[in-house]
């Protein structure tokens, strides 16, 4: 039996190991990321149905499990479960009773099923890694069945599955639809109202419960608008009604309208949280590790080329000096020809200097971007009350150009900075003379084509007065803040 997903979950949920997992992962994060992506468990619901933080560590752990040698893995498990390691290493044969002994008495009554499963899988994995035999008695064998049951549950064998009810339980489905329509009519609730599904309710109990849940948003300084992208449909409301019928058969003491209002909020929060997780994985720095690794190699190549240019420059200077000495011993015509040669070589040297200067500007900006995109630089969510005025003031009157970035992001930035010049990443034939009238250029690295980027950098080399910087954030306010920091001479 493949214990990989269970071990990844156990490691991810053991907070003691988080710093150690981070340390190991950062040693070769691009390789571990690629190994994790190739794992069949990377997008499996067994690991993706947990919290976002747990999912991050579970996916990192997948890469480590594929890339670490057995002794390293044993060392990691020993740090997370020292008592389990001690018991397994001393045991001649491992039985189910050992797991009971391995769990601290203070935790036995409070362990969740997942935490208990973590102890089970760590015992089984250490048994394999340490070359111990495992008993085949019914109780011990049942541990594997426990793990299989958890995997089946995550793969779709849910305690509640409305799609299954729709397909197989006609009577329950019709009863859920009847109750849903009854609730919608009584409380003026309709999915067609979108985000305002509860806004116009005139039912006194529904209105009170709606207000009570809206007050909960205030406790976390959040607006209800965080649910705007989580819109319910008729099937969602029928699901809620089916759950009510299942949990309160015969219309129990808990009244259905109050339950539906509460369930609507919870259902929308769950949908919104799932959307956040999808958005996170589409934009997290981990997904661009291969690109960052490529940039790192490009920087190394550029450094080598710069060193070669320096040597070539030195050689050219020496050659020029040699030609200069020969010129004094030649005829007048030879002197003139030598002078022409020196002039030509000097022009080449100046061109090489200009090229090296442009490369240094690009390298400096890329290095800043490289370190700024480190996963350690976690971005703190910006409150809706943050005032952009101080940053707009720094940008006022400054001649700037923004290249790249998603069209939607550019439109929002144009609204904030109407006096800036913007070039979309699809516009490859822009006039490079635009750079002659600007002081700063900001390249958005998160949404830009290679051809467009090369065109920008190539054009920029003709304008050494322009200061080059990179943007990577999709949040307009953080982008504005980064722009203001660059203009003000800070490092962002």
Q: Where are the domains of the chain?
A: 4-154, 162-283, 287-372, 389-487
Alpha-carbon gap, residue 485 to 394, rounded angstroms? 8
C-beta separation of 366 from 471 below 8 A: no
Alpha-carbon gap, residue 414 to 157, rounded angstroms? 49
**Cα-flanking dihedrals φ and ψ of residue 402, to 5°?**
-115, 125
Specify the CATH number of the domain 389-487. Answer: 3.40.50.11370
Please, what sign has the CA dihedral across residues 200, 201, 207, 210? Answer: negative
C-beta separation of 194 from 225 below 8 A: no
Residue written as token pair 């090296």: 356
pTM for this model (two decimals): 0.51
Q: For every one of its 492 residues, what pLDDT tens digit does the chain have, with 9 covering 90 and above?
A: 788 998 999 999 888 999 999 999 989 888 998 998 899 988 888 888 888 888 899 999 999 999 999 999 999 999 998 988 998 898 888 888 887 788 877 777 777 777 778 888 898 899 889 988 888 888 888 877 878 877 776 665 566 777 777 777 778 888 888 888 888 888 888 888 887 888 888 888 888 888 888 888 888 888 888 888 888 888 888 888 888 888 887 655 568 888 888 888 898 888 888 888 887 777 776 666 666 666 667 787 888 888 888 888 888 888 878 887 776 777 667 677 767 777 777 777 676 666 666 667 666 566 565 555 555 454 445 444 478 889 999 989 899 999 999 999 999 999 999 999 999 999 989 998 889 999 999 999 888 999 999 999 988 888 888 999 999 989 999 999 999 999 988 544
Tell me the residue length of the chain.
492
Alpha-carbon gap, residue 461 to 354, rounded angstroms? 8
């Amino acid at each position: 039996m493949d214990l990989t997903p269970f071990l990844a979950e156990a490691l991810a949920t053991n907070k003691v190991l988080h710093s150690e997992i981070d340390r190991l992962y950062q040693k070769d994060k691009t390789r571990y990321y690629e190994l994790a992506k190739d794992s069949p468990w990377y997008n499996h619901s067994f690991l993706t149905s947990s919290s976002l933080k747990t999912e991050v560590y579970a996916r990192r752990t997948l890469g480590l499990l594929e890339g670490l040698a057995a002794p390293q893995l044993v060392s990691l498990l020993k740090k997370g479960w020292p008592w389990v390691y001690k018991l397994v290493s001393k045991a001649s044969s491992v039985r189910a009773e050992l797991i009971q002994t391995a769990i601290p008495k203070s935790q036995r009554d409070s362990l969740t099923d997942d935490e208990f499963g973590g102890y089970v899988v760590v015992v089984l994995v250490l048994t394999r890694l340490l070359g111990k035999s495992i008993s085949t008695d019914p109780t011990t064998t049942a541990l594997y069945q426990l793990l299989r049951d958890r995997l089946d549950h995550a793969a779709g064998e849910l305690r509640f599955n409305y799609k299954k009810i729709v397909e197989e339980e006609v009577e329950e489905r019709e009863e859920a639809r009847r109750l849903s329509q009854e609730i919608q009519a009584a409380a003026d609730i309709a999915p067609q109202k979108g985000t305002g599904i509860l806004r116009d309710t005139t039912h006194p109990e529904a209105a009170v419960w709606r207000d009570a849940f809206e007050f909960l948003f205030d406790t976390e300084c959040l607006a209800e608008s965080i649910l705007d992208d989580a819109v319910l449909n008729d099937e969602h409301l029928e699901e809620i009604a089916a759950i009510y019928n299942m949990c309160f058969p015969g219309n129990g003491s808990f009244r259905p309208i109050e339950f539906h209002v509460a369930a609507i909020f919870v259902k929308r929060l769950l949908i919104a949280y799932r959307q956040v997780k999808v958005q996170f994985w589409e934009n997290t720095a981990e997904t661009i590790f291969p690109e960052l690794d490529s940039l790192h190699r490009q920087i190394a190549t550029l450094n080598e080329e710069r060193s070669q240019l320096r040597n070539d420059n030195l050689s050219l200077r020496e050659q020029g000096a040699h030609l200069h000495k020969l010129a004094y011993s030649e005829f007048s015509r030879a002197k003139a020809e030598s002078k022409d040669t020196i002039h030509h070589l000097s022009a080449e040297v100046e061109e090489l200097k200009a090229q090296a200067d442009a490369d240094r500007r690009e390298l400096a900006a890329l290095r800043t971007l490289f370190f700024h995109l480190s996963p350690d630089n976690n971005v703190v969510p910006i409150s809706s009350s943050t005032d952009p005025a101080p940053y707009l003031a720094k940008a006022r009157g400054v001649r700037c150009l923004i290249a790249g970035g998603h069209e939607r992001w550019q439109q929002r930035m144009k609204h904030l900075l109407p006096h800036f010049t913007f070039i979309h990443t699809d516009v490859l034939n822009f006039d490079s003379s635009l750079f002659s009238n600007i002081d700063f250029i900001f390249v958005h690295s998160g949404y830009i084509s290679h051809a467009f980027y090369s065109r920008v950098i190539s054009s920029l080399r003709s304008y050494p007065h322009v200061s080059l910087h990179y943007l990577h954030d999709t949040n307009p306010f953080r982008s504005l803040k980064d722009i203001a920091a660059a203009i003000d001479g800070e490092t962002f």
